[in-house]
Structure 1
């Protein structure tokens, strides 16, 4: 797994719900512990976000052994009126593609040798 960035204070462009959904889109069998690490959240916060997403029909899961397999509803429309008509699939196509593109970038030069 890639190195997790340092925590950030202040406002950001994405909500924690969008971050969790993007991580699940990248790996439908990801563990809550790993979601929490990638999103810089507590496991309890991730569980609450997953419950929110499931309650509103954006996400479902099936139990497989000791883990879960998640299913995202790609045609579900985003909640805010400003995003009227924008689907989860459209949002995730931007976020997941960005992650794929970033993994192809060279590591930043930190100046150390």
Structure 2
């Protein structure tokens, strides 16, 4: 399931982009408020991409289960490990976005 691992990589890229944008938003808030708001909006857009890609991964895993039964344990172990890291990172980024909005 190379496509699933590719999607995992794409999700990582989107999370990194979201984190970079919200960090820039927080850094530029005082001096460039409009730009900071744009960065925050871009961070939220990246998080939307994360959700969309995650939904596609879930569909692919369901398709494999329907077609072939349970995916190989090794593949699921790697995916679950990466998924947990992404969930943790996404939660931190969402918190940063919320803090930005509430400041």
Q: If the length of structure 1 is used for normalisation, what is the TM-score?
A: 0.29
* Structure index of larger Rg: 2
Greater share of residues in helix = 2
Greater share of residues in strand = 1
Query: Relative contact order: is structure 1 or structure 2 higher (C-alpha 8 Å, sep ≥ 6)?
Result: 2
Q: If the length of structure 2 is used for normalisation, what is the TM-score?
A: 0.31
